[in-house]
Amino acid sequence: MRYWLFKTEPDTFSIDTLKQQKVSCWEGVRNYQARNMLRDEVNVGDEVLIYHSSCKQVGVVGIAKVVRASYPDHTQFEPESGYFDPKATPETPRWFMVDVEYQRHLPLIALADMKQNPALAQMPLVKKGNRLSVMPVTAAQWQAIVTMAGE
C-alpha cells in the first residue's frame, strides 16, 4: 500500500461531496506527471489525503481510499466537457482516473502549518513551485499529517 495526496478545488468537488457520493471517480487530471502516477502507480487499497486548494483555507481535509485502479477518463471523449481532449480516442486514451471511496473528514491541516512541521520538509506539497494535483506521500509524512489532525 502507498499513500497519496490528491488536490481538489472545493467549489468544484469537496470532501463533503465525496462523503455524500461515498465513491467517486477522480477525473480531470490534465498534467502528464500526475497522469502517469494515476495510471502507473496508484493502486487499489492505497490511501489518499484529500487536499482543498484554490480556496480561503487550503489544506488537508480528509482521507479516501482507492477502490478502482486506473482506467481511461471518460471526460476526455466528451466534446461538451471542460476536460475534452480532441487528440484522445477510446483506442488511444491520453488521460486516466481512479475511483476513491470516502473514509473520513479530518480537521483542516492548513498548508501554513504543514510548512512549519520539520517532518514534512521534504514533502513536494510544501516546496515552492509544486503544482501537481496528485503527489506521493511517504509513510512518515502520512503519519505526521495524521498526528497533526489529532489521530
> pLDDT (tens digit, 9 = 90+) per residue, 133-147?
999 999 999 999 999
Beta strand pairing status for 3-8 and 47-52?
Answer: parallel
Nearest to 102 by CA among 69, 67, 64: 64
pLDDT at 71: 98
88's grid cell: 484522445
Residue 149 has pLDDT above 90, yes or no: yes
- Class of 3-148 per CATH? alpha beta
Lowest mean pLDDT among 9-13, 77-81, 128-132, 143-147: 128-132
pLDDT tens-place string over residues 47-66: 999 999 999 999 999 999 99
| 136 touches 37 (CB < 8 A) | yes
pLDDT category of residue 39 using cuts at 50, 70 and 90: very high
pTM across the whole model: 0.96
Residue 151 has pLDDT above 90, yes or no: no
In whole numbers, what is the pLDDT of the chain averaged over residues? 96
The secondary structure of residue 127, as a DSSP letter, is: S
pLDDT category of residue 32 using cuts at 50, 70 and 90: very high
